[in-house]
Structure formats: structure tokens, C-alpha cells
């Protein structure tokens, strides 16, 4: 079996993950527009939701992907129990 490519450093992995999860427009434009039009409180709640909801989900997906060493579709197929429908989430992850 051919060995898969890996990132050379943890910092590269963290920066790559943050760039994929956040996006440049989300970092610059949204807080500026919300602050400009009086939505600073919403930005604070949004950041808290990202931390408390997004971080655990992202950590779970990284852990599952590392355990399965496969694509999202094959990961969910390998880790789901018979009769469950978690493999559908793998297909949705490809479009997300």
C-alpha cells in the first residue's frame, strides 16, 4: 500500500485548517460590516458560537479522519454501525 502524503509541520496543519474553516471574507468583511451598521453584539455571539460549537465538531472530524486514514465517504462507511445512515454525512461533507 502506498504511503499517504503528510504535512511537514503542525503549524502548517493549523494554518491550513484555519484557512479552510474560516475563509478570508469571513475574517475581514463580516466583522467590519456588522460593526459599521451596529451589529457588534452579534459578532461577539458569532465568535463564541464558532468557538464552542465549531471547534469540537472540527476536532471530531480531524480525529475520525486520522483514525480511518481515508476520504470522508469511506471514513463514515468504515466507522458506522450496521443499520445507521452516517455514510450520508460523508457525501454531504464533499459538497460542503
Residue 2 lies in a domain: no
| Structural domain boundaries enclosing 79 | 24-95
Tell me the average pLDDT across 62-81.
Answer: 81
Residue 7 included in any domain = no
Residue 13 belongs to some domain of the structure? no
Q: How far is CA 14 from CA 9, 43, 45, 58, 73, in A?
A: 9, 23, 24, 12, 23
pLDDT in tens, 9-22: 888 788 877 777 77
Q: Is the pLDDT of residue 38 over 70?
A: yes
As for how many domains the chain has, the answer is: 1
- Residue 63 counted as domain residue: yes
pLDDT value of position 79: 80
20-41 mean pLDDT: 78
Amino acid at each position: 500500500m502506498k504511503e499517504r502524503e503528510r504535512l511537514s509541520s503542525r503549524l502548517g496543519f493549523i494554518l491550513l485548517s484555519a484557512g479552510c474553516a474560516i475563509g478570508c471574507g469571513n475574517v475581514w468583511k463580516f466583522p467590519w460590516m456588522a460593526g459599521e451598521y451596529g451589529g457588534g453584539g452579534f459578532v461577539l455571539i458569532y465568535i463564541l458560537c464558532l468557538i464552542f460549537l465549531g471547534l469540537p465538531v472540527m476536532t471530531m472530524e480531524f480525529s475520525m479522519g486520522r483514525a480511518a486514514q481515508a476520504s470522508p465517504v469511506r471514513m463514515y462507511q468504515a466507522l458506522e454501525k450496521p443499520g445507521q445512515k452516517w455514510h450520508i454525512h460523508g457525501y454531504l461533507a464533499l459538497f460542503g
